[in-house]
Amino acid sequence: MVAPVGVDEAGDSMGVLLYYPTVNPPTGILHQALLYWDGIASVVPRDPRVYEAVADRELRLLEEHELYRPLAFADDSLDVLDHRYIGGGSSWLTGQASAVLIEEIERIAARPDPPRPTSPPEAVIYTTKLSHWLEAMLLHLRLAEPARQEGFGALSVSREVQTLIIGVLARELAVNPDLALFPCTDSEDAYRSSLRPASPMRSLAWEIELGRLLPVPAPDTPTAEVLAFRERYDDERVRLMRALHRLLGDLRRDYEHPADVFAQLRRELSAALEDYRAAGRSTRMAWVHRSITVSVALAAAAGGALLLPDIGWLLGTIGGYALNIATREIRPLVRARDDHDFSYLHRVRSGLS
């Protein structure tokens, strides 16, 4: 392994959490991104007026400090909003990803009782997040209707439709090697929807419960204090994430010997975790522990022998906390990345002091 997953060879780049399905992440995930990654991103409307209206003030302040990255699909392609709107392009979403969306949307619409839009909306998708063909399809199938009360071009949709579309888009954004993105959400439905296999296209993944490995400050902690901790204890946080990403990356590649991978890296990860805990104890901040599940797509060569029953089995213990692992099927990406295919689920409501 040349460099740990998500970390460049100099060791100073951790990648960015890509939050979905909405624009504004909850405080817990925002703090997680600032402490353990290089920042946070989310999928935003490509109309800059809508972005200014829906992105909260704290997020825009973090953008000014280059710790938040708004991402938007132009009419036909992905562009990064570098403090300005960038338009143009030639393809919004094509190939397998488009086929997945069409198949899943048609499946939802064909149900005996499909989820119809409501007023007020159960969920909203801004039209400038979408391609024109997808907007037309949703309207034609009566899975969406204009949400006029939003004040901007928006569609009223069910939460199921919203999480499906934005979840698939988030996974496809993450394969861009120039962006170094790790999809994450606090919605179980969005997480499952974005990874659900579409027959006959499927591949295998480990699903690993990280448990209490990545503590965060209590929700009422000011972001300014989180940023101060990030700067003061940068070495400790980078060391912890380097060790964790090394573990996940090695599990992805050496999928036939997960226990061996764990045994080789257990000491490194445990020591990094203890140093980070010591840094946390030296502050006046109150810390909580969130349950985090990471889906680690296995190398393409992984065969059917790994398709075990979808129940967790103990991989090992790090710093007194169990690390569990299970095998599951997921939807493969249109374009595979050699370095990673990770997706995170943050169960924000399960915090323990």
Q: How far apart are CA 71 and CA 185, in angstroms?
A: 16
Cα 73–Cα 160–Cα 143 angle in degrees, nearest 5:
80
**Does residue 347 share a domain with residue 304?**
yes
Indicate the residue among 138, 165, 192 that finishes a domain. 165
**Does residue 146 share a domain with residue 56?**
no
Residue-number span of the structural domain to which 106 is assigned: 95-165
**Does residue 329 share a domain with residue 282?**
yes
In a domain, 11, yes or no: no
**Does residue 105 share a domain with residue 53?**
no
Sequence-distant (6+) residues with CB within 8 A of 257 are none
Question: Is the pLDDT reported for residue 32 higher than 70?
Answer: yes
Indicate the residue among 165, 194, 220 that finishes a domain. 165
In a domain, 229, yes or no: yes
Q: How far apart are CA 139 and CA 128, in angstroms?
A: 15
In a domain, 59, yes or no: yes
pLDDT tens digits, one per residue of 241-271: 999 989 988 888 888 788 888 888 888 999 9
**Does residue 152 share a domain with residue 279?**
no
**Does residue 345 share a domain with residue 256?**
yes
pLDDT tens digits, one per residue of 176-196: 767 778 999 998 888 888 887
Task: Tell me if the pTM is above 0.75.
Answer: yes
The full DSSP string for 68-114 is EEEEEE-SSSEEE-SSS-----S-SS-HHHHHHHHHHHHHHHTSSS-
Residue 180 Cα to chain centre, angstroms: 11
pLDDT tens digits, one per residue of 58-73: 998 899 889 999 887 7
Q: What is the pLDDT of residue 85?
A: 31
Q: What's the number of domains the chain is made of?
A: 2
Mean pLDDT of the chain: 79
**Does residue 235 share a domain with residue 302?**
yes
**Does residue 76 share a domain with residue 180?**
yes
pLDDT tens digits, one per residue of 300-345: 666 655 555 445 666 777 777 777 787 777 877 656 666 677 888 9
**Does residue 180 share a domain with residue 141?**
no
Indicate the residue among 165, 192, 217 that finishes a domain. 165
**Does residue 105 share a domain with residue 25?**
no
In a domain, 2, yes or no: no
What residues are paired with 184 via a beta bridge? 19, 344
Q: How far apart are CA 177 and CA 109, in angstroms?
A: 34
